[in-house]
Amino acid sequence: MLEDQVRQLLKLSASDNIEEALKAAARTREVASGSGENTVVSLFDYNIRLEKILTLERSLAESNANNARLKDEHAQELRRRDATALVGKAVEEGKITPHMADAWGKDMAFNDPTGFVKVLASMPRIVRVGTEEGSNAQAVVMAASQQVREEVKKLAEDYTKAGKPVPKLADLQNEVFTRSPKLYTEYTAEVRGAE
């Protein structure tokens, strides 16, 4: 396609050699600048053809940049699909919960799929899959997980309002679990249920 445009701009036939035509244009440039033997050349014609060549070069550079961008976007989309499939399989197999998939699984599977597979290989099944008990356990754990996040957020706000430094997340979670042992039991039910 680009070759056809160059031929058209240089007014070349299909049998003409583009490389030879470009060399001739370079010789014409020398002549037009007065450094060649023949100085009888239409400067106007030379400038028109030169501008067309420069326009094609810019167009080619833009096309190459666009192709590289599209190639990168396509590669990213393929990685995203592969990561989604890996995470979905891990959830189906009971290796991770949907909450774990959202919290870290999707990012890890996208950024380091090999590492994600290695982590899964070393993990025991933590959720019973394909049973009503497993589904109920997941629902209880997800509800408990949401409640823990809300309680931790509320506790952090209480520290802030009191003008005290906010403890680390793990310390806040421990305080929430100390206040509500039942919540801790529900939050950790998936691990015990799969053993």
Domain assignments of the chain as residue spans, ordered by start: 132-194
Residue 186 and residue 141 in contact, taking contact as beta carbons nearer than 8 Å: yes
d(CA 136, CA 126): 14
Digit-coded pLDDT (tens) for 12-63: 777 777 777 777 777 766 665 555 454 445 677 777 888 888 898 999 999 9
| Cα 33 from chain centre | 51
d(CA 5, CA 53): 10
Tokens of 31: 């002549």
Digit-coded pLDDT (tens) for 63-111: 999 999 999 999 999 999 999 999 988 888 888 888 888 888 899 999 9
Give the single-character DSSP code of 94.
Answer: T
pTM of structure: 0.42
Question: Shortest CA distance to 36 belongs to which of 44, 45, 26, 46?
Answer: 26
Residues in Cβ contact with 115 at an 8 Å cutoff, skipping those fewer than 6 apart: 108
Question: Shortest CA distance to 166 belongs to which of 183, 153, 148, 184?
Answer: 153
